[in-house]
Chains A and B, each alone.
Chain A
Amino acid sequence: MAMINFLILPILVPLITAVILIFLNKSVIAQRWVSGLSAFVTVILSALLVNKVKNDGIQTLNLSNWDAPFGITLVSDMLSALLVLTTSIVAFACIIYSFKGIGEAREKYHFYAALQFLIVGVNGAFTTGDIFNLFVFFEVMLMSSYALILLGGTKIQLRESIKYILVNVISSGLFVIAVGYLYSVVGTLNMAHIAARISEISGISQPGVISIIGIIFLIVFGLKGAIFPLYFWLPGSYYAPPAPVMAIFGALLTKVGVYSIIRTYSLFFYEDGGYVQQVIMILAILTIIAGIIGALAYSDVKKIIIYNIIVAVGVILFGVSTMNESALTGSIFYLIHDMIIKAALFLLVGLMATITGTNNLKQMGGLIKNYPGFSWTFFLAALALSGIPPLSGFVGKVLIVQGGFSSEYFIGAAIVLASSLFVLISIMKIFINGVWGEPKTYANEKTVPYKQLLIAPVILVILSICYGVGADFIYPYMSQAAESLINTNLYIDAVLKE
């Protein structure tokens, strides 16, 4: 195979695996092996892709050999390659956790197939260079997420998925409308070509139209990415499915929305005099505050972590909205850190709920006595989440705050700093009430396959520690990713081959 096709493999491998898995639904053991192996192969392929982008620059693939602005182009710059790699790692960990953590009933009804289709959608959305194709990959991802959120059919799942599907149908409708508007203004769908056309016309006439389209896109991606005030659906919907699904949703789905905001705004909407940028910044700060209020208010372990997703989205978007190199690098650092650590925390909290049989902190306590491995992993994950050096959240936040101060957005940067403290309080609340204190006995704790369930979160936490400690080694990758966001001509020239 020609090496030019390399960037499609992280989409193709899960797709073929998913189709195979549909036919294997009788044998749970075979499904576990196939999906685990395939996820591992996807991780290796995406790591090779990152390496290739590092050495040879931005990779592009014109599907069916239609030249760039006319056909669908897949583009892998450093940002998308890194996100594909992180997605594959998170998916691999969640699949390992699911072996013992999801239950055989769900496994028999195509859980692994739906999960692989979800990876197809997420990796595709990160890789595509065509705005309508982005919509299609969004739908692939959403369809599989509908299947995953419904699988099992408990009452709470049915109730929450009606709302989840309704919200997403509306946002998909808006997405198509926004694409239609954009097409009528610039007459193309290729993202690099759109960017080139917008910079041609924005000097002459109608920057207002572009701003309006920018705001519609912000609503669409904001609904997916859960920014203020569009996050209302998230706490309920993510609460319903079991832990591995929740981890996949929390780590990946909102991040696809955030990625789309970063991609479209750096390419299309940065030239309109900063209007869209200001809107994003204000919303990012409000998102952080709303997330913190939620995280502090609940004493339900899952809800606390879910609201922490919203805080992280705000922090990342604040870094993006300052649009200077240091903060953008920090945002990418933080984005990848957050995907890994949120997946780990959701799996850990799921394990906690499985052991104790409840989500309510007030009925837990003293887990450190009988489950020291779990407790210390959770402690490290909590520190990493709130950004204690040298763990992984630290570098990203430092760069974001530094960028914020250097561009003189003092209030925003101060709120990002303060948010770390509140995140620490919210997560230490789980630690103090659930892990310390008098050990309690729980009805079903003997039957929990505790050691097997601990494997996946431990892998993720170790990765997150390496990510923080090895920041010097990783930094060149991050700055390359930020470079193609700031100097968009790199991206445009790579696609249009000018």
Chain B
Amino acid sequence: MEILMIIIAGILFMSATYLMLSRSVVRIILGTTVLSHGVHLLLLTMGGLKRGAPPLIGEEASAYSDPLPQALILTAIVISFGVTALFLVLGYRSYKELGTDNMEKLRGNDGND
């Protein structure tokens, strides 16, 4: 199961890299969200995947899954949600101000650089 999850995480990273290498700002932002999904999946896998045991059931439990990666992922999801929201607004605003969403044309040279 872990192997499968790690391969899926790898595919997510691959797609994210592909998207972030493109010229359009929107695709780049989508790439960052896909990247954060890959990161969260990897983090979950790193704690070890188990079946049929809740995280905390007292001290005599024979099996339990590790609650810590889940807590970390929750924090990381909230943070990446906030950053993505900001990034989308920035993308929209810079499209309106600069008149393009093409990274190649964002190089400057228009007198204020």
Complex contacts, A37 vs chain B, CB 8 Å: none
**Which B residues between 33 and 58 are near A, CB-CB below 8 angstroms?**
35-36, 38-40, 42-43, 46-48
- What is the CA–CA distance of A173 and B82 in the complex, to the nearest angstrom? 14
Contact across chains for B39 and A173 when beta carbons are under 8 A apart: yes
Give the total of A residues in contact with B, Cβ under 8 Å. 29
Contact across chains for B83 and A156 when beta carbons are under 8 A apart: no
- How many residue pairs, one in A and one in B, have C-beta atoms under 8 Å apart? 90
* B63 close to chain A: CB less than 8 A: no
Contact across chains for B28 and A166 when beta carbons are under 8 A apart: yes
Contact across chains for A143 and B98 when beta carbons are under 8 A apart: no
Query: Which residue, B46, B68, B110, has most C-beta atoms of chain A within 10 A?
Result: B46
Task: Report the minimum CB–CB distance from B90 to chain A (whole Å).
Answer: 6
> Which residue of A159, A169, A179, A183 is within 8 Å of B108 (Cβ)?
A159
Task: Report the minimum CB–CB distance from B74 to chain A (whole Å).
Answer: 12
- What is the CA–CA distance of A173 and B84 in the complex, to the nearest angstrom? 13
Contact across chains for A162 and B39 when beta carbons are under 8 A apart: no
Contact across chains for B20 and A139 when beta carbons are under 8 A apart: no
Complex contacts, B90 vs chain A, CB 8 Å: 150, 158, 161-162, 165
Contact across chains for A184 and B36 when beta carbons are under 8 A apart: no
Complex contacts, B23 vs chain A, CB 8 Å: none
* A285 close to chain B: CB less than 8 A: no
Question: Size class of B's contact patch?
Answer: 35 or more
Q: What does the 1/0 interface line of B83-107 toward A look like (CB < 8 Å)?
A: 1001100110110011000010010
- What is the CA–CA distance of A135 and B43 in the complex, to the nearest angstrom? 14
Contact across chains for A176 and B83 when beta carbons are under 8 A apart: no
* B59 close to chain A: CB less than 8 A: no
> Which residue of B25, B32, B46, B106 is within 8 Å of A181 (Cβ)?
B46
* A448 close to chain B: CB less than 8 A: no
Q: Which residues of B contact A (CB under 8 A)?
A: 20, 25, 28, 32, 35-36, 38-40, 42-43, 46-48, 68-69, 72, 75-76, 79-80, 82-83, 86-87, 90-91, 93-94, 97-98, 103, 106, 108, 110, 112-113
Given A132-B75, A162-B106, A183-B69, 13 other A-B residues pairs in contact with their CB atoms under 8 A: A143-B83, A154-B112, A155-B98, A155-B110, A155-B112, A156-B108, A156-B113, A162-B28, A165-B90, A166-B32, A170-B35, A176-B76, A179-B72
Q: List 16 A-B contacts (CB under 8 A).
A: A132-B75, A143-B83, A143-B86, A146-B86, A169-B36, A169-B87, A170-B20, A170-B35, A172-B79, A173-B32, A173-B35, A176-B76, A180-B69, A183-B47, A183-B68, A184-B48
Which 8 A-B residue pairs are closest in the complex by CB-CB distance?
A: A180-B46, A184-B46, A158-B94, A180-B43, A169-B32, A173-B39, A139-B79, A176-B39
